[in-house]
Structure formats: C-alpha cells, structure tokens
C-alpha cells in the first residue's frame, strides 16, 4: 500500500477530506519518528495495541560484492524492527 493509498483509506474511513487525512497521517508519522529518535540501541518504542518498534545495533561485518565477488567491509549501523501487538496480529488473521 502506498502512502497515497493509505491517506485515501483514512479519508474514507474517517469521513475526512483528503487534505485533512493527509495532515492527520503526517502528524502520526511525525510522532512515531520523534519517538524513535529518543530511543537508544536496544530500546523500545511501544504504541498501545499497534505494536512495538525496537532499535537494534548491527555490528560491522565482512560482505561480498555480488557482481564481482570482492570482499567488502560493511560498517556498523542501527536497525529498526517492528513486532505487531497481538490485537493487530489477530486482526490480520495471524
């Protein structure tokens, strides 16, 4: 689902104009982004019955260029994981 599709679905479900739905979706995404910026490695950002975002640390490692087979060093980075809440899993039929 694209962001535009998501906005359209929110507009229909909430009986809103597309402009109001877009502002609402942007506010929600900004709130999630702001919350994630405060989370440190290994920390969690939980959103009620939606789910939990976890920030994890990825260590530096060696990889391979698939085109040439040359060994390359991949820098350490942070990763983001999402675990849906049981209510969201149930709604999806999982």
Query: Mind listing the pLDDT tens digit for each residue in 19-46?
Result: 999 999 999 999 998 888 888 767 889 9
Q: How distant is the alpha carbon of residue 30 from its chain centre?
A: 12
Contact of 25 with 10, CB cutoff 8 Å: yes
Q: Is the pTM of this model over 0.95?
A: no
Q: For the domain made up of 43-94, give the CATH fold.
A: HU Protein; Chain A (4.10.520)
The structural domains of the chain, with segments of one domain joined by +, span 1-38, 43-94
Provide the terminal-to-terminal Cα distance of the chain, rounded to the nearest Å.
19
Structural tokens at position 48: 């009620």
- Asked if pLDDT for residue 16 goes beyond 80, the answer is yes
List, for residues 43-73, the tens digit of each pLDDT value.
889 998 899 999 888 999 999 999 999 999 9
CA distance 7 to 24: 9
- Asked if pLDDT for residue 89 goes beyond 80, the answer is yes
The kind and range of the H/E element at 61 are: strand 61-64
């Amino acid at each position: 689902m694209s962001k535009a599709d998501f906005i359209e679905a929110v507009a229909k479900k909430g009986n809103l104009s597309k402009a109001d739905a877009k502002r609402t979706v942007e506010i929600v995404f900004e709130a999630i982004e702001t919350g994630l910026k405060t989370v440190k490695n290994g920390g969690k950002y939980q959103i009620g019955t939606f789910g939990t975002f976890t920030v994890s640390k990825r260590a530096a490692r060696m990889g391979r260029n698939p085109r040439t087979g040359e060994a390359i060093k991949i820098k350490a980075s942070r990763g983001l994981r999402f675990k849906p809440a049981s209510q969201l899993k149930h709604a999806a039929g999982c």
